[in-house]
Chains A and B, each alone.
Chain A
Amino acid sequence: AQSVAQPEDQVNVAEGNPLTVKCTYSVSGNPYLFWYVQYPNRGLQFLLKYITGDNLVKGSYGFEAEFNKSQTSFHLKKPSALVSDSALYFCAVSFSGNTGKLIFGQGTTLQVKP
């Protein structure tokens, strides 16, 4: 079955430190991978995506993610966290032939402390 896992419910980092939010997936065929961010009482905003090509993808607000096919992972990273990065982050996967429907992970709350 197609699935996405975000193993951490919450990640805590200090401002200025690097952050990583983890995501692993299981799909048949080539995956298309996405990260979204959600601020309180708002919809989800697109951060970045991997479709093909370079395994390191750069996105909005200084975030990047690395596609690792052998580990079936797509971890979200940022070199230096900001307090304003505190939010709920969702990883999602699609795959060829499914009309673009996304499968979402459970979400990871990122807390950046001053």
Chain B
Amino acid sequence: DVKVTQSSRYLVKRTGEKVFLECVQDMDHENMFWYRQDPGLGLRLIYFSYDVKMKEKGDIPEGYSVSREKKERFSLILESASTNQTSMYLCASSMTGARGYTFGSGTRLTVV
């Protein structure tokens, strides 16, 4: 069964910590995406990558960075976590073209 795996389902971090969210896909997809989901705001794109070592900013990249050293892994980094980054984070991957996404189960991050 093909899938996208996010390393943590629930995470609690302190303000100012550097936080790493990991995402791994086993489908050999070119594209990978990080979204955050907040009530009433839907899904907002943070960063995406369409190839190894390539990255592009989404709609809300401030306070985040990403790393894609291998095709199957796309990491989201919160350089200095803040309480307004408390959210559900969703990773997805896709093939190039109109194929749609496969999503991970999500990481619910709480910053205290």
Tell me which residues across on chain B come within 8 A of A104, comparing CB atoms.
Answer: 35, 42-43
Secondary structure call for the A interface: loop
Decide: A100 near B99, CB < 8 A? Known: A42-B105, A42-B106. Answer: yes
Task: Report if A100-B43 is in contact (Cβ < 8 Å); known contacts: A41-B108, A44-B90, A46-B102.
Answer: no
Q: Which of B28-42 contact A (CB under 8 A)?
A: 31, 33, 35, 40-42
In the complex, which residues 99-114 of chain A have their Cβ closer than 8 Å to any Cβ of chain B?
99-102, 104-107
Residue of B nearest to A100 (CB): B94
Find chain B residues with CB under 8 A from A49 CB: 98, 100
User: Chain A contacts of B45 at CB under 8 A?
Assistant: 101
Tell me the residues in window 16-67 of chain A with beta carbons closer than 8 Å to chain B beta carbons.
Answer: 32, 34, 36, 41-46, 49, 51
Contact A90 B98 (CB under 8 A): no
Is B64 part of the binding interface, using a Cβ–Cβ cutoff of 8 Å? Answer: no
The interface size bin for chain B is 20 to 34
The CA of A104 and the CA of B33, in the complex, are separated in Å by 13
State whether the Cβ of B95 lies closer than 8 Å to any Cβ in chain A.
yes
Write the A90-101 contact mask toward B (1 if CB under 8 angstroms, else 0): 101010100111
- Spell out A's residues near B (CB within 8 Å): 9, 32, 34, 36, 41-46, 49, 51, 90, 92, 94, 96, 99-102, 104-107
- Contacts A44-B90, A100-B31 supplied; 11 other A-B pairs, CB < 8 Å: A36-B101, A36-B103, A41-B106, A41-B108, A43-B104, A44-B103, A45-B103, A49-B100, A90-B42, A99-B31, A104-B35
